């Protein structure tokens, strides 16, 4: 009879994203951190808010969370996402939105450009 531990024994280490990015809401102003940290393909990201509610990050161009070249996609906050593609030599624009509990979604728009930012995603770290 083997005395080795089963590989299915749960660990006590919580699953944590490589990057936790807090989108803040103050009054009606939504802001990502400035700058958004540089990240690498294969790393994980969790977007969250400083207030109760839903976070949504929209990518008007390509998304670093997609392997295809679809444009104008968005990802939800509150879940751990894995970066799929690098931003190449530039950055990827993002628009940030928060929908407070019981309220309207607030965020990026022509009158609120500071609710956006740039994601710099490098090739995978070896």
**Helix%, strand%, coil% for the chain, nearest 5:** 0, 45, 50
Q: Is residue 77 part of a domain?
A: yes
Q: Is residue 41 part of a domain?
A: yes
CATH number at residue 47: 2.60.40
Question: Tens of pLDDT along the chain (126 residues)?
Answer: 445 555 666 666 678 999 999 999 999 999 999 999 999 999 999 999 999 999 999 999 999 999 998 999 999 999 999 999 999 999 999 999 999 999 999 999 998 999 999 999 999 987
- What is the rounded distance in angstroms from the CA atom of residue 38 to the CA atom of residue 121? 6
Q: Is residue 89 part of a domain?
A: yes
Tokens found for residue 118 = 């740039």
Q: Is residue 10 part of a domain?
A: no
What pLDDT score does 10 carry? 62
* Direct distance between the N- and C-terminal alpha carbons of the chain, in angstroms, rounded to an integer: 40
Q: Is residue 7 part of a domain?
A: no
Range of the domain at 80: 19-122
- What is the rounded distance in angstroms from the CA atom of residue 124 to the CA atom of residue 126? 6
What's the total number of domains in the chain?
A: 1
Residues 6+ apart with CB under 8 A from 124: 40, 41, 42
Q: How far is CA 110 from the centre of its chain?
A: 22
What pLDDT score does 8 carry? 64
- What is the rounded distance in angstroms from the CA atom of residue 121 to the CA atom of residue 85? 7
Residue from 63, 55, 59 nearest 107 by CA: 55
Q: Is residue 49 part of a domain?
A: yes
Q: Is residue 82 part of a domain?
A: yes
The structure's pTM equals 0.87
What pLDDT score does 9 carry? 61
């Amino acid at each position: 009879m083997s005395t080795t531990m089963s590989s299915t024994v749960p660990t006590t280490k919580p699953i944590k994203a490589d990057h936790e990015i807090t989108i803040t809401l103050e009054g009606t102003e939504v802001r990502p951190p400035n700058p958004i940290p540089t990240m690498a393909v294969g790393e994980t990201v969790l977007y969250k808010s400083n207030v109760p509610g839903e976070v949504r990050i929209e990518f008007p161009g390509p998304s670093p969370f997609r392997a295809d070249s679809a444009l104008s996609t968005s990802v939800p906050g509150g879940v751990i996402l894995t970066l799929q593609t690098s931003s190449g030599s530039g950055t990827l624009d993002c628009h940030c939105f928060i929908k407070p509990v019981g309220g309207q979604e607030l965020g990026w728009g022509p009158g609120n450009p500071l609710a956006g930012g740039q994601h710099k995603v490098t090739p995978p770290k070896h």
